[in-house]
Amino acid sequence: MELTEQFILLQAPNPAAAENGRKLSKKGAFSGRCRTEDGTLYWADCAGSGKTPYRVSADWSGDGAPVCRCSCPSRQFPCKHALGLLFEILAGRPFQTADMPQDLAEKRARQAARAAKREAAPPKERKPNAAAQRKKLTKQLEGLDLAEKLAEDLLSSGLGTLAGSSAQTYEKLAKDLGSCYLTGPQTALTRIALTVRTVQSAPDQAEAAYEEALRILIALRATIKKSRVLLTEKLESGNFSAGDSALYEALGGVWRLEELKAIGSYRENARLVQLSFDVAVDQAKREYVERGWWLDLDGGEIFQTRNLRPLKALKYVRGEDSRFDLVETPTLYLYPGEGDRRVRWETCSSRPVTPEEHSALPRLAQPGLAPAVKRAKGQIKNTLADKFLSALVPIGRVGRIGGEFVLEDPAGDRIVLRDRAEEGANRAACSRLALLPGEIPLGSALFGLMFYDGRDRSLCLHPYSVVTPAEIIRLHY
Amino acid sequence: MNLQPLYDVKERLEYAAVAGTGLVGEDFRLRRALEALTPLAGASPVLAKIAAGLEKLLAAPAEGRSSALLDLLALVDAVAYTQAKTGAEGELEPLPQGGGTCRQIPWSQLQPLLNALTTTGGGRLELIESVWESHPEFFSDFRVLPAVVSGLGDSYGEIAERNAKILRSLGPAALPLLKRDFDPAGKRDMVRRVEVIAALEGAGATPWLREVLSQAKKDVRAAVISALGGDGANTALLLELAGSERGKNREAALGALARQEGESVRAFWTGELAKNSTSADFLESSETLWASDLAAAGLGQRLAKLEEALDAGQEKVSREDQEDLERWLRAARGKSSPAMLELWRWADGRLERFGRLKNHISQPYPLAGQLSECLLRGICETGAAPLAALAEELHGRDPKRAVYLPHAFAAASLTRPASEVYGQFSPYLLTKKPLLDSGAKRSCHEAMLAILLRLRQGLAGPLDRRWALRLLEAAWRDLPGKQTWYPSFPGGAPLGSFEATLTGLMDPADPEHCRALSAYFRRRMVEAADWYTYGRLVLRCGGSPRGALEEALGRSVKTYYLYHIWDFCAEAARTLPPEETAAILGLFARSKCVRREDVPQAQRALPWTAERLRAGEPFPEWNDWWKMR
């Protein structure tokens, strides 16, 4: 077991829990520190607010992360006491060697039995309920009609009329789409209402807000048109499977891993390195979006992970964090779609990136700016796709022309580096290029998002990270 | 191909979406855009498709316009995206380099830190200090460093000062950022930048300081002038500024000049002090030889004037003269040039005469005491060897005098081994009242008590462990006057000078100290009927207050909050065996020391805790007692 601070932070459900655990360790809240002879189980007493100290343990009997147990009533898992115990181990505090306590031995045995039972039991096959599916599809088709009508009414009276109480009414109507299993269009309409509402608070941003609302409406229109065809076909053919289509998610469907496996959307033995990480709040869906950008070491593709944490249940859903190690997963599940595909995995192991692997990372960049630009243009013109595309492009030079940051690739092609307004001030990164401690080494690449900037009708790159042969310099997190 | 007509169409369609499709039919600008696009339609099939779509939109009935508009906009957008330009013309200027480092800091640690440094609200200082304690290396990261620099202007002054300290500790890494975007006409944040730059670069900051001086205004100008004092090469400029600047800026120039050396500086200050006596304030922090000489001359001049006045029978000193004298005494403190040493020797012969002086309301003016205090503080604060030697010399003139005994003791503590100092000075601290020469010996004894009280915190080097034991046997204990000192625990009664000195000199790791002091405090517990204060001191000595505690509890009529009982017992539990603490809890349970409102709670908490301790469980938190109310 190699314990690092980064490892502990990754176990924490949120940064505050990790910090509280660190404080417990620092103030000497732990007593009776013990460990087994083989070093797979650590336990201690931790003084809490209760009369008796909490009994907390960390069990490394399985693979990967330890099983943390604590007698405190916290619903966070692992709790701050367990994280504090990990900090105690990390700090090299003395642990007496002792026999495993009976209760922990029993818990360990029960856990092993459960794991064995899980492995032995064949995976349950879900049988689709045809009648229910038919009913759902019919309801969805009705919902599409409603969504179309809402969009048409809105455009007929004009986006400019969507303000104040009318926006609230509109949001309420959009909620009806949720009961038609169309959470995707519901979110799109809520997003439009929210975007237009910003016009009232910041009239100087009206143009950008209306433009954004229009982009959402265009995507919604495309979703409705294409979905109607797809759902009608399904209804008529009686085929109720999710199918390999990005429309499923656009309508609000949530992919399960077994569904992705069923449609063959997975890859075995993948090796990934995180290029960047950030967190944003999606006001329309009222959730935190923790987004990681990953580079596949074998194929050179860029993927994204999105950990969604509803604001209502923030305490109970574990947060993601930046990862600096190389992640190896036996099965990498890919969401349907093109460009910046979302990925997930069930289990993974991590290890430090070797110098050889580091030096290979910039070589996975696009051959030059031209193919990256072509790919981006092809992607963003798709009405259903995001209006940006990630790219790893080789760096020839980075500099300034008249106050604008510019990247020149080794072939001499150039692209303007600019912060994408929609990303918000928190993700502004261009100015950080001018703060880099040293010169960017030869053979480096720049990772970022290519996007269309309507102000000067140009394709720009929002920089996220500089990938050098020795390290990844993150401009964000 | 000129695509402007296409972009015009796009713009008009977007306006239509905002204004409402109901008005599309009347939109003559949209029609004009279509007319401009039509010639291009022949050249490109996609533009032809857009033109056809636009015609269809204009001709569509009201209910079909929205869909037609969105479909058309989707197509127009797609073309606009594919026609987007890339690149930039011109000479590529290389980027400047920052001074920080690149570190792998996870979001969970970096984001709260950046938030604390760049936003407003409570709890930020604690977070910054906590990260500084656990991960000081984070602050040199190239993403954090700019936030620390901009944090010099934080609206919460303590955070701004903390940031300044952090930047000083980080070293030259922050210099490029501190100098980048510097505003010479700025506010407090720019003043802090100047201070940090000066602290980091020292004399090396001169070229930059000189460069910004010409544009610097208000507080920034004063800070720049003050910072110029860090380099001896700026003397000429500072002399010029002292002549040309006014107000705060001139004061800054004087402060900076007080750190300069050289004949021109000495000449300037001689003139300045002759013209303006209040400028002597600037000499206070100066460590130069000329400052010491000028302070000696200035103070000597004023003392001589007083002597002349005394000779003429004038004993009264005006308020202005007193203030002036005190200013020069401050300027002289810690100075140790030969002229200054000579002044102290000269003053020694006149202390008695100065004792006759009266202040402006005809009360005794304690100039002799002020002179003695000035010399003593100079020795303790600077530890200057010439001053230490002088103190021993003055004391050596007449070792039976009390006046220079504290000075000699402090000087010896600074320069000689503690045991040797004890050997020389312990006879002054009497353990028996003398039969002969009692007055002078008592004065020396009290001078020793006073200096021990003053030096108990190790102000002038470590003291021999035997002082505490000797003090216990002192013939006279408290100093004249009614000064008291509060003990370091809450709720304790104030201690007199003797006991304050004793607790300060006590070494809890020394068994002999603990044994002797514990016995003393136990006795005092009963005498003063103050079990709380003296019981705590007994516990600090590692002893048990039991025995004396019963008696003190019986004699005491004072009642205490239950929290104080808990605090007392919690300290007992830390030093005594559980059985002993349980017995003490039993004593409290039987006594009437708890205030009436807390009695029911105490009746539950005290036996419960005693039982727990006997069962081998830890002493409970106050929260546990609180829950029993």
pLDDT per residue as tens digits for the range B391-403 = 999 999 888 888 8
Rounded to a whole number, what is the distance in Å from the CA of B339 to chain A's nearest CA?
Answer: 53
Residues B402-446 pLDDT 10s = 889 999 999 998 888 889 999 999 999 999 888 877 788 888 998
Q: Which helix (H) or strand (E) holds A34?
A: strand A30-35
**pLDDT of the residue at A249:** 84
Q: Torsions phi, psi of A39, nearest 5?
A: 70, 20
Distance from CA of A337 to the nearest CA of B (A): 18
Decide which of 2.30.30, 1.10.287, 2.40.50, 2.60.40 is the CATH code for A260-353: 2.40.50
Give domain status of residue B109, yes or no: no
User: From the CB of residue A436, how many other CB atoms can be counted at a distance below 10 Å?
Assistant: 19
What pLDDT does residue B578 have?
A: 92
**Distance from C-alpha of B266 to C-alpha of B256, rounded to nearest angstrom:** 13
Average pLDDT score over residue span B215-227: 92
Closest CA to A357 of A384, A325, A309: A325
**Residues B487-511: what's their mean pLDDT?**
86
Residues in B closer than 8 angstroms to A452, CB to CB, are: 80-81, 84
Same domain for B353 and B468?
yes
Phi, psi of A32 (to 5 degrees): 55, 45
B-contacting residues in A 240-269 (Cβ below 8 Å): none
Instruction: Give the best residue of A210, A381, A382, A415 to mutate against chain B (max B CB count within 10 A).
Output: A381
DSSP state of A422: G
Nearest one of A373, A378, A271 to A332, comparing CA atoms: A271
Cα B348 to Cα B322, B390, B393, B394, distances in angstroms: 20, 11, 11, 8
Residues 440-469 of A with CB under 8 A from B: 452, 454, 456-459
Q: Is A181 on the interface with B (CB under 8 A)?
A: no
B1 contacts chain A (CB < 8 A): no
- Do residues A157 and A149 make contact, with C-beta atoms less than 8 angstroms apart? no
Pairing of strands A287-296, A302-310: antiparallel
Q: Which residues pair with A401 in a beta bridge?
A: A404
Q: Is B402 inside a domain boundary?
A: yes
Q: Residue A244: its pLDDT value, please?
A: 65
> DSSP alpha helices (H): ranges in B60-138?
65-82, 107-118, 124-134
Which residue would you say has higher pLDDT here, A284 or A199? A284
Two structure tokens written together for A194: 């929210």
Question: Where residue B506 falls among pLDDT bands split at 50, 70, 90?
Answer: confident
- Structure confidence at residue B251 (pLDDT): 93
Share of chain A above pLDDT 90, in %: 37
Are A160 and B109 an interchain contact pair (Cβ–Cβ within 8 Å)?
no
Give, as one character, the DSSP assignment of residue B544. -
Residue A128, judged by CB atoms within 10 A of its CB (0-12, 13-18, 19+), counts as: exposed
Phi, psi of A353 (to 5 degrees): -75, 130
Any A CB within 8 A of B53 CB: no
Q: Does some domain include residue B103?
A: no
Instruction: Evaluate if residue A281 carries a pLDDT over 70.
Output: yes
Establish if B20 touches chain A: CB-CB under 8 angstroms. Answer: yes
Q: B533 in a domain, yes or no?
A: yes
Contacts of A160 in chain B (CB under 8 A): 18-20
Residues B22, A156: C-beta atoms closer than 8 Å:
yes
Question: pLDDT tens, B318-365?
Answer: 999 999 999 999 999 999 999 999 999 999 988 888 888 998 888 999
Among A296, A259, A308, smallest CA distance to A392 is for: A296
pLDDT of residue A242: 66
Block residue for tokens 């019919």: A138
Query: Are β-strands A414-417 and A458-467 bridged in parallel, bridged antiparallel, or unpaired?
Result: parallel
Partner-chain contact B95 A381, CB within 8 Å:
no
| The total number of residues written for chain B in this structure | 629
Residue numbers in B near A154 (CB within 8 A): 66
B105 occurs within a structural domain: no
Nearest chain B CA: its distance from A400 CA (Å) = 5
B20 vs A158, A434, A438: nearest CB:
A158
**Nearest Cα to Cα of residue B409 among B589, A139, B396:** B396
Evaluate whether residue B89 is within a structural domain. Answer: no
Which pLDDT does position B178 carry in this prediction?
92
Coil, strand, or helix at residue A3? Answer: coil
Q: Between these two residues, B122 and A390, which has the higher pLDDT value?
A: A390
Distances (CA, A) of B224 to B37, B230, B245, B246: 63, 10, 13, 15
Picking from B19, B94, B110, the nearest residue to A158 by CB comes out as: B19
What pLDDT is recorded for position A330?
92
pLDDT at A425 over 90: no
Radius of gyration of chain B (CA): 39
Provide the residue ranges of all domains of chain A, joining segments of one domain with +. Answer: 5-120, 130-250, 260-353, 363-474
CB A450 within 8 A of CB A389: yes
Q: Which residue has the tokens 């790219």?
A: A391
Domains A260-353 and A363-474 share a fold: yes
The answer to whether the Cβ–Cβ distance between A435 and B618 falls below 8 Å is: no
State the angle between helix axes of B157-170 and B188-201 in degrees (0 to 180), rounded to the nearest 10: 20
Question: How distant, in Å, are the alpha carbons of A2, B133, B135 from that of A84?
Answer: 17, 17, 17
CB contact under 8 A, B74 and A157: no
Nearest to A277 among B20, B107, B621 (CB): B107
Residues B122 and B68 in one domain: no
Cβ contacts (< 8 Å) between B97 and chain A: which residues? Answer: 436-439
Residue B253 contacts residue B238 (beta carbons within 8 Å):
yes
Of B84, B97, B145, the CB nearest to A458: B84
Alpha carbon distance B471, B468 (integer Å) = 5
DSSP code at position A306: E
CATH of domain A363-474: 2.40.50
**Average model confidence (pLDDT) across chain A:** 87
B143 to A475: CB separation less than 8 angstroms, yes or no: yes
Which of B58, B82, B106 delimits the end of a domain? B82
The 10s digit of each residue's pLDDT in A254-269 is 888 888 888 889 999 9
Q: Please say whether the beta carbons of A385 and A250 come within 8 A.
A: no
Whether A397 and chain B come into contact, CB under 8 Å, resolves to yes
Which residue reads 């603990």 in tokens? B514
Residues 6+ apart with CB under 8 A from A329: A269, A270, A272, A345, A346, A347, A348, A349
C-alpha B310/C-alpha B323 separation (Å) is 19
In angstroms, the separation between the Cα of residue A181 and the nearest Cα of chain B is 23
Question: Residue B50: its chain A contacts at CB < 8 A?
Answer: none
> What is the structure's pLDDT at A355?
93
Cα separation, A162 vs B407, whole angstroms: 84
The tokens for B187 are 């506010």
Q: Measured between alpha carbons, how far is A329 from B220 in angstroms, rounded to an integer? A: 58
Close Cβ partners of B364 (under 8 Å, ≥ 6 residues apart): B355, B357, B358
Task: Write down the pLDDT at residue B460.
Answer: 62
Quick one: pLDDT band at residue A168, thresholds 50, 70, 90?
Answer: confident
E strands of B349-467, at which residues? Answer: none
Residue A291 has pLDDT above 90, yes or no: yes
CB atoms A413 and B86 under 8 Å: yes
Task: Using the predicted structure, report yes or no on whether residue A1 has a pLDDT greater than 60.
Answer: no
A471 touches chain B (CB under 8 A): yes
Chain B residues inside the 8 Å CB shell of A215? 77
- Decide if pLDDT at B533 tops 80: yes
Report if residue B521 sits inside a domain: yes
Contact B142 A377 (CB under 8 A): no
What is the rounded distance in angstroms from the CA atom of residue B173 to the CA atom of residue B99?
5
Q: Which tokens go with B438?
A: 């009692």
For residue B531, how far is the Cα from the chain centroid? 37
Q: CB-based contact (8 Å) between B347 and chain A?
A: no
Binary contact (B107, A322; C-beta < 8 A)? yes
- Chain B nearest CA to A124, separation (Å): 38
Residue with tokens 């200096």: B451
Residue B16 within any structural domain of the chain: yes
Number of domains within chain B = 4
C-beta atoms of B18 and A158 within 8 A: yes
E strand map for B485-600 = none
Q: Residue B160: pLDDT band by 50, 70, 90 thresholds?
A: very high
Above 70 in pLDDT, residue A12?
yes
pLDDT tier at B457, thresholds 50, 70, 90 = low
pLDDT of residue A123: 67
- Give residue-wise pLDDT tens across range B176-207: 889 988 999 999 999 999 999 999 998 899 99
Query: Hey, which residues 70-129 in chain A have their CB within 8 Å of chain B?
Result: none
Contact A457 B19 (CB under 8 A): no
Q: Does B45 touch chain A (CB under 8 A)?
A: no
Q: Of B546, B515, B414, B527, which is closest to residue B477 (Cα–Cα)?
A: B527
Query: How many beta-carbon pairs under 8 angstroms link A with B?
Result: 191
pLDDT at residue number A47: 84
What is the tens place of the pLDDT at every residue in A341-354? 999 998 888 888 99
Q: State the Cα–Cα distance between residues B581 and B585, nearest whole angstrom.
A: 6
* Nearest CA among B577, B572, B575, B574 for reference residue B588: B572
- Contacts B623 to A, Cβ<8 Å: 49
- CA gap A298, B219 in Å, rounded: 60
Examine the domain organization and report whether B128 and B190 are in the same domain: yes
Average pLDDT of chain B is 90
DSSP A356-376: HHHHHSGGGS-SSHHHHHHHH
Claim to verify: residue B256 and residue B294 sit in the same structural domain: no
Strands in A311-421 per DSSP E: 326-334, 343-344, 349-351, 388-394, 397-401, 404-408, 414-417
Whether B74 shows a pLDDT value over 80: the answer reads: yes
Task: Give mean pLDDT, residues A99-116.
Answer: 86
The Cα B595–Cα B557 span in angstroms is: 11
B86 to A218: CB separation less than 8 angstroms, yes or no:
no
Task: For residue A22, list chain B residues with Cβ-Cβ distance below 8 A.
Answer: 134
The secondary structure element, H or E, covering residue A476 is none
Mean pLDDT, residues A33-59: 87
Residues 6 or more apart whose CB falls under 8 angstroms from that of B169 comprise B136
CB contact under 8 A, A381 and B78: yes
**Residue A165 CB-density burial (10 A; 0-12 exposed, 13-18 middle, 19+ buried):** exposed
| A271/A340 Cα distance (integer angstroms) | 17
Other beta carbons within 10 angstroms of residue B71's beta carbon come to 18
pLDDT the model gives residue B223? 94
Six token digits for residue B258 = 């007080």
Q: Are residues B515 and B434 in the same domain?
A: no
Q: Does the CB of B61 have a partner CB in chain A at under 8 Å?
A: no
Q: Give pLDDT, residue B241.
A: 92
Sorted by sequence, the CB contacts under 8 Å of residue B244 that are 6+ apart come out as none
pLDDT, one tens digit per residue, over B545-601 is: 999 999 999 998 899 999 999 999 999 999 999 999 999 999 999 998 999 999 999
Q: What domain range includes position B12?
A: 4-82
Residues of A in contact with B137 (CB under 8 A): none
Do A435 and B100 make contact, defined as CB atoms within 8 angstroms?
Answer: yes
Q: How far apart are the C-alpha atoms of A272 and A275, rounded to whole Å? A: 9
Q: What DSSP character marks residue A122? A: P
Which residues of chain A make contact with B605, given a CB cutoff of 8 A? none
State the residue for tokens 């009963």: B526
Interface touch A438/B97, C-beta < 8 Å: yes
Q: Which tokens hold the place of A266?
A: 């997975």
Is the distance from CB of A448 to CB of A462 less than 8 angstroms?
Answer: yes
Same domain, B257 and B294: no
| Interface contact A398-B95, CB threshold 8 A | yes
The rounded distance, in Å, linking the Cα atoms of A89 and A83 is: 10
**Cβ distance of B73 and A214 shorter than 8 Å:** yes
- Asked whether the predicted pLDDT for residue A165 surpasses 70, the reply is no
pTM of the model: 0.78
B150/B627: higher pLDDT: B150
- Cα angle value B522/B524/B530 (rounded, 5°): 95
